[in-house]
Amino acid sequence: MTDFFFNLTKDFHSNVFFCSQVSNREDGFTRSWEYFLNNNNEIAQSITDYVAESSGRLEPSEFVEAIDQSRFSFKHHAGMQPDLVLLCKKYCIVCEHKLSSVQGNDQLPTYLKFRHPEKPLFVIYITNRTDEIIDESILLCQNYLKPKDSFYNYYLWKNFYPFVKNHSGKLAEDFIEFMELLKMKPLNFNGWGDIFKDQKEMKNFEHALEPIKYYLVEELKAIPLLKNLSLQIRVPKRMRIQVIHLFAAESSGYMDIELNEPRLFFQLKRNVQNIEQIKNLADISGEIDNNLGQISVRTLKNFKPDSNGLIILREYSIELKNILVKDMPRTQENIKAFSRKCLQHLETSDSNVFK
């Protein structure tokens, strides 16, 4: 049974990439990507040149054709085929595509064993996710390509977005709209770069979290842990809340909801072993008006525990574009104001939460 790839309640006018039915999102995107590249040789050439140069391993080679898995098969591996092959005159590049899903078991190790009868074969992994881990054994393979100056050991769809965006023509305009729907557009907030992709911006965001760390420690007499776009505060055990987690997220891989825009989250957690103590937490969901913009609030006390045995009791979030500004002190003040508002709402809605 096929399902519609897109929400067709939106007016997508004459965009050809929103008109087909597909078995799943990744297959649908791959077919569209193949079609687009084969009808835009200049963009396809720029992309293969980028992969060659960014990997530091290959010389650019003339692009010949993009071929999806419906049109090729590697011998002896009929049960596992990559999504796309970028065929160039001097070599071919096997591409495994992901949107929000994770690596399949043994996919990359299997593809790295493939051989082309006439030319060298290389493998790249492209995804929307920023939390993937590539096994060290794969990174050591001579035919696995990754961007040499990137924080990640794989390619992101955001890396390819500019090549399409900078090209004129109706097909390119339609495909860029398609990529934006799939959240492949690099983030840029009021002078900030992509905090999820750019290592320098990631460090800047962690610096922006520093003042709130001291504020929460002073306010709650807690123990802080700052790491990877995320601040965790361990609250004294006598309180019904044990952990406060402040973090930024750009995709639904972190939670059960689909995000329209990247958000800053303020989560309150409790050990599942003490579930009886939090059953009476006020069940509140909705929006809170705030000078920074609307804050969404959800009570999530029925969620399954995480790997540390903690469940999310209450979650507050706000769009990152309302928090990040070019001026660092103001960004820090915005984060503090958001956190203060969350704590105030929590205490107002449940006066015993910190007792």
pLDDT, tens digit, 9 for 90 and up, residues 301-320: 655 777 667 778 788 999 99
Q: Which helix (H) or strand (E) holds 69?
A: none
In the block, tokens 């770069």 appear at 193
pLDDT at res. 145: 97
Q: What angle do CA 180, 185, 191 make, to 5 degrees?
A: 130
In-domain check, residue 355: no
Q: Are residues 124 and 213 in the same domain?
A: no
CA–CA gap between residue 31 and residue 69 (Å, rounded): 9
- Tokens standing for residue 22: 């597909």
Picking from 313, 280, 312, 315, the residue whose alpha carbon sits closest to that of residue 297 is: 315
Identify which has the larger pLDDT, 8 or 337.
Answer: 337
Same domain, 247 and 294: yes
Kindly state whether residue 187 falls inside one of the protein's structural domains: no
Residue 191 falls inside a structural domain: no
Q: Which of 150, 181, 212 is the last residue of a domain?
A: 181
Q: Is the pLDDT of residue 182 over 60?
A: yes
Q: Are residues 165 and 256 in the same domain?
A: no
Q: Are residues 162 and 218 part of one domain? A: no
- Which pLDDT tens digit goes with each residue over 118-168? 899 999 999 988 778 899 999 999 999 999 888 789 999 989 999 999 888
Where is the domain boundary, 147, 181, 215? 181
Given a cut of 60, is residue 4 above it in pLDDT? no
**pLDDT mean over 52-68:** 95
DSSP code of 163?
A: H
- Residue 66 sits at φ, ψ, to 5 deg, of -100, 130
Going from the C-alpha of 16 to that of each of 10, 12, 106, 158, 340, the distances in angstroms are 14, 9, 34, 21, 47
Provide the pLDDT for residue 13: 57
- Residue 97: per-residue pLDDT: 93
Q: For the residues 269-294, what does the mean pLDDT come to?
A: 74
Q: How confident is the model at residue 254 (pLDDT cuts 50, 70, 90)?
A: very low
pLDDT interval class at 2 (50, 70, 90):
very low
Q: Is residue 188 part of a domain?
A: no
> Is residue 172 one of the residues assigned to a domain?
yes
Q: Are residues 216 and 261 in the same domain?
A: yes
Over the stretch 80-117, which tens digit does the pLDDT of each residue have? 688 999 999 999 999 999 988 888 778 899 999 888 88
- Quick one: 238 and 117 in the same domain? no
Count of structural domains, the chain = 2
Give the DSSP letter of residue 70.
Answer: G
Same domain, 86 and 224: no
More confident residue, 8 or 290: 290
Domain that holds residue 100: 3-181
